[in-house]
Amino acid sequence: MQRKPLPLHLNITTGGLAAVAACIFSNPLEVVKTRLQLQGELKLSPDRAYKGIVHAFKTIAVQEGIRSIQKGLVSGCYFQFIMNGVRLGVYQSLQNKFDPADSRSKFLFNALSAGLSGMLGAFIGSPFFLIKVRQQAYAAHGTAVGAQHRIPHLFPALLSIYRTEGVYGLFRGSSAAMTRVAVGSAMQLATYDAVKSSILNLGHFGNGTVVFFLSSLVSGIVVTTAMNPFDVVATRLYNQRVTKGHGDMYAGVVDCFAKSLREEGLRAFMKGWSAHYLRLGPHTTLVFVFWENMRASVAQRRG
């Protein structure tokens, strides 16, 4: 039976809640990924402080306590709800309104609408991403990589940044986040829909959890590869120290790309790739499985 499309506010709400549920499971790998991306930054911090994912988990847990593997969880959940709520909600609403007939036009439309909705979500949620990165990078009693910002609580930190740096300070690094999410979102949602349609066309599976899982698994691989260089840059821009309203290390996205390439080579942009995939693959899978089932449940309740 064809499901009646949900209105925008319900698409946003279900998308946001699905992302929050996924974030609870994927956040520990986000902590590890952040540390791996910051180590060896412009050769100013230890390059092999963490020798891989397992070593990073063990080191962080032993030095900073087991709870430290969930650093930035609250700010991460706020970011996920806002960013993915807007991204998925706006994207789905555009799908409901405009649905190109031929497959090539459909893929391009999906990529464009996903990229634009992702940019909007990333911009609105940027202050929470800023706090998340800084909390996850901070190691009070452990191996420090990158700039260190002590941020015990989310909203006092946002207020402090606003008072000292103004609105611009809250959205510092948002250009990198928008690029990061635009690339990732365009690849993720367009690939997800294309793979999902291909699997359904085979006729072996119904439109259920198995299809959602397989489709999101493939899109997770694609999006990690496309997104990682921009993710490294975004992490570094958000985490850098700020003096008198200006970043100490980078002037912006292009400057960060150039300096990282010059000092560390191309490998800088693949730092944390494995952790990123292990985090993003399950996260993508969980988001879509939760989201699809939430939307189906809400649509059924609405009749």
Buried/exposed 117-135: b ≥16 CB within 10 Å, e otherwise? bbbbbbbbbbbbbbbbbbb
CA angle 74, 10, 219 (to 5 degrees): 70
SS3 249: coil
- Given a cut of 70, whether residue 3 has pLDDT beyond it is no
pLDDT confidence of residue 1: 41
Per residue in 181-209, pLDDT tens?
Answer: 888 877 877 788 788 888 888 888 887 77
State the pLDDT confidence band at 303, using cuts at 50, 70 and 90: low
Token pair for 17: 């809640």
CB atoms within 10 A of CB 99: 11
Per residue in 145-186, pLDDT tens?
Answer: 999 999 989 999 999 999 998 999 999 889 988 998 888 877
Closest CA to 98 of 85, 119, 113: 113
- Given a cut of 70, whether residue 242 has pLDDT beyond it is yes
Could you tell me the pTM of the whole model? 0.86
